[in-house]
Structure 1
Amino acid sequence: MQILGIIPARYASTRFPAKALVDIGGKSMIQRVYEQSSKATQLAQVIVATDDERILEHVLNFGGKAVMTSQDHHSGTDRCFEALTKTEGEYQYVINIQGDEPFISPEPIDRLAQVLDGSTELATLVKVIDSEDILFNVNVPKAVLNKRNEVMYFSRQTIPYLRNVETDGWLSFHTFYKHIGIYAYRTDVLAEITKLPVSSLEKAEALEQLRWLENGYSIKAVITSDDSHGVDTPDDLDRVTKKFLQ
């Protein structure tokens, strides 16, 4: 099974412009993501999909692979599909790796790749929630799974709602899952979902993966113990730098 790892990297960012090129302990953010992702043994190749010549040149200068994509894409999924069409080789799956996780571990990428058996349409990572701060944080998407570890729904709200249970006891009463935003797409499915119009559930929750569920696609969930450490703001950068480099 040939799997292509793609790291979408935009230059513009409302909260942190040019964050892909920010220096983190002597290496740019995108270089760290690229090098960490390249350690995943299940990926045949890793490329950066960018919309900016500065990022493209930077990746090529440190020895990485990159392709230019349109500035008009509204999601990393759309950018991944264009990058796939511009990459030589036959791939059965694409794994979309977040470009703002400079200390991503290769192990969860490999775990995700292990469920890509040809029948799996889409897959993603989830982590058991062990903190009330995460459980009730509407900025953290949660996932509800069925018995086959397929995602039934994603929400920013805490779901399921536990009737007749005090909120301070929810974590001991039920297993809740945090969504870790790394996606795997079977390449034919990737081509299909990029043509779908924005759905009503996606609009309601501002979560693009709900478009796929609403249109009948199946999303396999892989449970990981690794957490995400994304950098959306300069404060996030300070936090992850202190955690991993000090």
Structure 2
Amino acid sequence: MSRASSRIAIIIPARYGSTRFVGKPLAMITGRTMINRVWSLARAVSGVDEICIATDDERIAEHVRSFGGHVVITPKECTNGTERVLRAAEMLTKAPAVVVNLQGDAVLTPPWVIAALACEMRRDPTVEIATAAVRMDKRSCEALRTAKGHGEVGGTTVTFDRRGNALYFSKSVIPFVRTDGQDNDTDPLPVFRHIGLYAYGYETLRRYVSLEPGPLERSEKLEQLRALEHGIPIRVVEVDYSGRTHWAVDSPDDLRRVEAIIAEEGDLVAA
């Protein structure tokens, strides 16, 4: 059965009371709020039927309405962004066949990366979950290893089989490259950095949220391992940032870095 004409929704979870960064969705980045920027990225993705921001806070909801976005108020009891996305999907007027979970702080995610996941879900109706990854070169891989050696936990890598289905995700750099045989720092390695962006079949999302975390998820603190531990395959889509910089916003300090990147590379989409 083809998903070619199936309904696809992008749902953006946005929580006000983050322990690491209270009020993060409303933080200003070069004249616009974070949530407005992420919503603009979603709007630039072709082939999407609906875009919705899921929040438990009226301050965020009021702001979203002010720029014309569709917002759904989800229960404060949602334990994480994935559960919040499901609750929002259940409240939509028309149930989507595919749900794309675009994190509310993903301000530097190119629209073509988001579109690649939607395309994969439409292309192969057997895919239950899809996520994105970027191939690393020697220089970027060594930089990540160095950061890990200094105790940083950010940055997840993924290995996958010949069909593109994930074998494992880790906060360690995998696979271990015993010898790369390469002199050029920009030659690609068989190491892929995971991008925290997911597309789910609607029924798979419902099933996933109902599952208990396993020992691998609890050890690595990576939600996606729950799917693998319960036998749900995850399709890994290799994407190219086309020279754009990937950066996560986990703290107020990251805002300055993101603003510097935008100043250097320009906005991904117009306001």
TM-score (norm 2): 0.85
Partner of 1:34: 39
Q: Which amino acid aligns with 1:239?
A: R
**Residue 64 (1) aligns with residue 31 (2):** no
CA distance in 2, matches of 1:166, 1:13: 41
Partner of 1:218: 233
Secondary structure in structure 1 of the residue aligned to 2:159:
strand
CA distance in 2, matches of 1:57, 1:65: 10
Among candidates 124, 127, 133, match of residue 120 of structure 1:
127
Which range moves more in the overlay, 137-146 or 188-197? 137-146
- The answer to whether the 8 Å contact 1:10/1:51 transfers is yes
CA distance in 2, matches of 1:166, 1:224: 22
- The answer to whether the 8 Å contact 2:8/2:97 transfers is yes
Partner of 2:12: 7
**Residue 143 (1) aligns with residue 158 (2):** yes
- Structure 1 runs not aligned, ≥5 long: none
- The answer to whether the 8 Å contact 1:129/1:178 transfers is yes
- The answer to whether the 8 Å contact 2:117/2:237 transfers is yes
- The answer to whether the 8 Å contact 2:133/2:194 transfers is yes
- The answer to whether the 8 Å contact 1:37/1:105 transfers is no
Partner of 2:246: 228
Q: Deviations over 1:14-41 (max 9, x none)?
A: 2211010011222111011001111100
Classify 1:23/1:167 alpha carbon distance in 2 versus 1 (closer, same or farther; 3 Å).
farther
CA distance in 1, matches of 2:58, 2:92: 17
Classify 1:96/1:162 alpha carbon distance in 2 versus 1 (closer, same or farther; 3 Å).
same
Q: CA deviation at 1:2?
A: 1.1
Percent sequence identity over aligned pairs: 37
Secondary structure in structure 2 of the residue aligned to 1:176:
strand
- The answer to whether the 8 Å contact 1:202/1:208 transfers is yes
Among candidates 231, 241, 244, match of residue 259 of structure 2:
241
Q: Which amino acid aligns with 1:217?
A: I
Structure 1 residues 34-113: aligned runs within 5 Å: 34-113=39-118
Q: CA deviation at 1:173?
A: 8.5
Q: Deviations over 1:204-234 (max 9, x none)?
A: 1000000000000010011111253221111
- The answer to whether the 8 Å contact 2:175/2:190 transfers is no
Classify 1:156/1:200 alpha carbon distance in 2 versus 1 (closer, same or farther; 3 Å).
same
Q: CA deviation at 1:74?
A: 2.2
- Structure 2 runs not aligned, ≥5 long: 1-5, 265-271
- The answer to whether the 8 Å contact 1:101/1:228 transfers is no
Structure 1 residues 150-161: aligned runs within 5 Å: 150-161=165-176
Q: Say what the alpha-carbon RMSD is for the aligned residues.
A: 2.1
Q: Deviations over 1:152-191 (max 9, x none)?
A: 100011112234x38998x869410000000000001001
TM-score (norm 1): 0.93
Q: Which amino acid aligns with 1:69?
A: T
Count of residue correspondences = 245
- The answer to whether the 8 Å contact 1:125/1:222 transfers is yes
CA distance in 1, matches of 2:234, 2:129: 5
Q: CA deviation at 1:42?
A: 2.1
Secondary structure in structure 1 of the residue aligned to 2:121:
coil
- The answer to whether the 8 Å contact 1:37/1:104 transfers is no
Q: Which amino acid aligns with 1:124?
A: T
- The answer to whether the 8 Å contact 1:150/1:219 transfers is yes
